[in-house]
């Protein structure tokens, strides 16, 4: 690897400004047609790269990492989550992993708040009714939803995004509750007037709206399983803008179909882009195509972080956003 121009392979199209800067700084190879790489193509890429820039849809599994040999030094992921990279395999092969934290907080919190509003007020159903041509005009009993002012919001995962959601929700008159691995600082609790629940089960049973904002890890896989989903109140709503794997989608679909709780707003899915067909058929669910972080500003900020991480490594220093620190 030439110290200041590492060979960088990018798996998907990135904003033009980011790709242009990568071409200026690195020996960059871009995916111009934006076609997702197959596993064979990913293996070929890691064998030919000093740095791989994957996205959340690229599965960098142990077999792919083992094929890299000694050349690959950095997996500079374009995204906050790193559940698509096998961290143990990367560590075993002394490959550093970086991500792009912090820059998507406000965008994802905006989308979460949009779903918190959209589901109880039946916005997607109303939009479909207008487009269908079957709307006959206003009436006192048409499209009745639920007020969110004064309701209890339970946030699962009070990290950066969870706190940003809480700040927005307070402005809409929601009472803030949360469950987290660790209790947040008392100053933050005081600012948000937030109630901490050590028991997720106890919190779920008492909330009017539940927002999933924790990362996907082995510990959070199916965190909201059928048993926990059944704890929710019959008139409660679930919103997920985190990762689909945190919720048992089959159980969610079954319970929503049975009317076990009132509805859901989902921006992520367990096997995306595949979605349970029965979930697609439900009217009490708002479904979005994983667009919580999809702003121009956010994507550019992500790319800038990727570039900084690569450039820092190429200059012989430790990247600022390293997830896995190894000797390199």
**Each residue's pLDDT tens digit, 274-308:** 999 999 999 999 999 999 999 999 999 999 999 99
pLDDT at 325 over 90: no
User: Is the pLDDT at 19 greater than 80, yes or no?
Assistant: yes
Identify whether residues 95 and 207 lie together within a single domain. no
Residue 1 has pLDDT above 90, yes or no: no
272 classed as catalytic: yes
Cα distance between residue 95 and residue 143, in whole Å: 54
Same domain, 168 and 30: no
Do 143 and 95 reside in the same domain of the chain? no
CA distances (Å), 186 to each of 67, 179, 200, 214, 313, in order? 47, 14, 19, 20, 37
pLDDT at 226: 98
Claim to verify: residue 265 and residue 237 sit in the same structural domain = yes
Phi, psi of 120, deg, nearest 5:
-65, -30
Catalytic residue among 243, 245, 249, 299: 243
Question: What's the confidence (pLDDT) of residue 324?
Answer: 61
Q: What does the chain come to in residues?
A: 328
Of 121, 272, 304, 322, the catalytic one is 272
**Residue 243 catalytic?**
yes
Question: pLDDT tens, 58-83?
Answer: 999 999 999 998 999 999 999 988 99
Scan for tokens 């143990």, then name that residue. 88
51-55, 77-81, 248-252, 260-264: range with lowest mean pLDDT: 77-81
Q: Domain for residue 2, yes or no? A: no
Specify the pTM. Answer: 0.88
Which residues 6+ apart lie within 8 Å of 203 measured at CB? 154, 177, 178, 179, 197
312 and 178 fall within a common domain: no
**pLDDT per residue over 167-180, tens digit each?**
999 999 999 999 99
Domain count of the fold of the chain: 2
Mean pLDDT of the chain: 95
Of residues 13, 121, 170, 290, which has the active-site annotation?
A: 290
Place of tokens 């779903």: 115
Q: What is the mean pLDDT of residues 79-91?
A: 93
Note the pLDDT of residue 236: 98
Here the CATH number for the domain that contains residue 46 is 3.40.50.720
pLDDT at residue 114 tops 80: yes
To the query of whether residue 12 is one of the catalytic residues in this protein, the response is no
Instruction: Looking at the structure, tell me whether residues 111 and 84 fall in a common domain.
Output: no
Could you tell me if 167 and 225 are in contact, meaning their C-beta atoms sit under 8 angstroms apart? Answer: no
Residue 328 has pLDDT above 50, yes or no: no
Q: CA–CA distance from 144 to each of 28, 123, 140, 171, 238 (Å)? A: 54, 10, 8, 23, 18
Same-domain check for residues 200 and 237: yes
> How far apart are the C-alpha atoms of 231 and 206, rounded to whole Å?
9
Q: Quick check: is 196 in a domain?
A: yes
Domain holding 35, by residue range, is 7-103+295-324
Same domain as 160, residue 77:
no
């Amino acid at each position: 690897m030439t110290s200041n121009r590492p060979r960088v392979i990018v798996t998907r199209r990135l904003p033009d400004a980011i790709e242009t800067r990568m071409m200026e700084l690195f020996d960059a190879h871009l995916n111009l047609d934006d076609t997702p790489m197959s596993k064979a193509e990913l293996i070929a890429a890691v064998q030919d790269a000093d740095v791989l820039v994957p996205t959340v849809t690229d599965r960098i599994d142990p077999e792919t990492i083992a094929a890299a040999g000694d050349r690959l030094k950095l997996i500079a992921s374009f995204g906050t989550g790193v559940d698509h990279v096998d961290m143990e395999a990367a560590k075993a092969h002394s490959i550093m992993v970086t991500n792009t934290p912090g820059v998507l907080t406000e965008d994802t919190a905006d989308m979460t708040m949009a779903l918190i509003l959209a589901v109880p007020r039946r916005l997607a159903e109303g939009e479909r009714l207008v487009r269908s041509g079957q709307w006959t005009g206003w009436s006192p009993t048409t499209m009745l939803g639920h007020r969110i002012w004064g309701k209890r919001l339970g946030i699962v995962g009070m990290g950066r995004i969870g706190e940003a959601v809480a700040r927005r929700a307070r402005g809409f008159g929601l009472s803030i509750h949360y469950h987290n691995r660790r209790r947040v600082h008392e100053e933050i609790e005081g600012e948000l007037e937030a109630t901490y629940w050590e028991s997720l089960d106890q919190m779920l049973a008492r909330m009017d709206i539940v927002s999933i904002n924790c990362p996907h890890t082995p510990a959070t896989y199916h965190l909201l399983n059928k048993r926990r989903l059944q704890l929710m109140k019959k008139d409660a709503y679930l919103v997920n803008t985190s990762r689909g794997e945190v919720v048992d989608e089959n159980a969610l679909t079954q319970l929503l179909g049975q009317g076990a709780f009132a509805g859901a707003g989902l921006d992520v899915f367990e096997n995306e882009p595949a979605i349970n067909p029965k979930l697609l058929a439900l009217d009490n669910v708002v479904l979005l195509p994983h667009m919580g972080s999809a702003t121009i500003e956010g994507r550019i900020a992500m790319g800038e972080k990727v570039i900084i991480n690569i450039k820092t490594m190429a200059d012989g220093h430790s990247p600022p956003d390293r997830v896995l620190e190894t000797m390199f």
